[in-house]
């Protein structure tokens, strides 16, 4: 996100469940509309706005690194949301390790492998995809691992919300990581380190 060097702000719902990352500008909007229910971060950032013509005072908003947003400002709750499937987060989930040869590769040498191929009715979902290097993906071709006699070295899983938030931001503050780590399920492969 092209937003100067400021870290993203972690938003929560009023119950404290992680919601999403927003830019500091977006966080200022929540503060200005009095939509911040409470804050939990260790970090504070103060942003200065324009000068008021009548008072000569310069406006300022202090944004905290973790903020809970009131009610309807957030998307409606209901069934737990499945995070969108993107290669970046998929490769990060699998720690950039090919599920077939076990080697670690750079982003550009990795592919999204459908365990059950799309041509055989496999779907494009977290539970049917793993990270594979180009070589292994080509070798496996339109076959299942059994058909190709290629063993899966690890199992796919659906990241929960907190894990997805960790996967999708490479510039997480220590307090934000501590908060999200408490919400990551135990089967996660994500390395929790701030």
Residue 69's CB is within 10 A of a number of other CB atoms, namely: 21
CB of 194 closer than 8 Å to CB of 172 = yes
- Interface residue with Zn ion among 101, 116, 148, 158 (CB under 5 A) is 101
Sole binder of Zn ion in the list 9, 28, 97, 136 (CB under 5 A): 136
Question: How far, in Å, CA of 117 to CA of 141, rounded?
Answer: 8
Stretch that binds Zn ion, among 12-20, 22-30, 94-102, 176-184 (CB under 5 A): 94-102
Q: How far is the CB of 125 from Zn ion (least distance, A)?
A: 21
Coil/strand/helix, residue 154: coil
The rounded distance, in Å, linking the Cα atoms of 129 and 156 is 7
Residues in the chain: 194
DSSP H helices, 33-152, are 87-93, 134-140, 145-148
**Which range in 16-24, 129-137, 150-158, 166-174 contacts Zn ion by CB under 5 A?**
129-137
Task: Select the residue interacting with Zn ion from 8, 98, 172, 173 (CB under 5 A).
Answer: 98
The piece of 11-19, 52-60, 70-78, 132-140 that touches Zn ion (CB under 5 A) is: 132-140
Please work out the total of residues on this chain that contact Zn ion, with binding judged by CB under 5 A. Answer: 5
Residues in contact with Zn ion by the rule CB under 5 A = 98, 100-101, 133, 136
């Amino acid at each position: 996100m092209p937003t100067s060097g400021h870290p993203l702000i972690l938003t929560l719902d009023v119950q404290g469940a992680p919601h999403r990352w927003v830019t500091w500008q977006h966080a200022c909007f929540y503060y200005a509309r009095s939509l911040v229910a409470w804050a939990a971060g260790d970090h504070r950032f103060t942003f200065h706005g324009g000068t008021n013509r009548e008072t000569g005072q310069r406006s300022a908003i202090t944004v905290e690194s973790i903020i809970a947003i009131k009610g309807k400002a957030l998307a409606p709750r209901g069934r737990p949301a499945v995070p969108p499937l993107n290669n970046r987060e998929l490769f990060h989930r699998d720690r950039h390790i090919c599920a077939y040869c076990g080697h670690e590769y750079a982003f550009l040498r990795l592919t999204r492998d459908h365990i059950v191929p799309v041509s055989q009715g496999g779907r494009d979902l977290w539970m049917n995809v793993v990270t594979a290097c180009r070589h292994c993906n080509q070798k496996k071709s339109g076959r299942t691992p059994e058909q190709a006699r290629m063993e899966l070295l690890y199992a796919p899983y659906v990241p929960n919300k907190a894990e997805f938030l960790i996967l999708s931001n490479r510039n997480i503050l220590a307090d934000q990581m501590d908060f999200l780590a408490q919400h990551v399920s135990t089967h996660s492969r994500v390395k929790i380190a701030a």
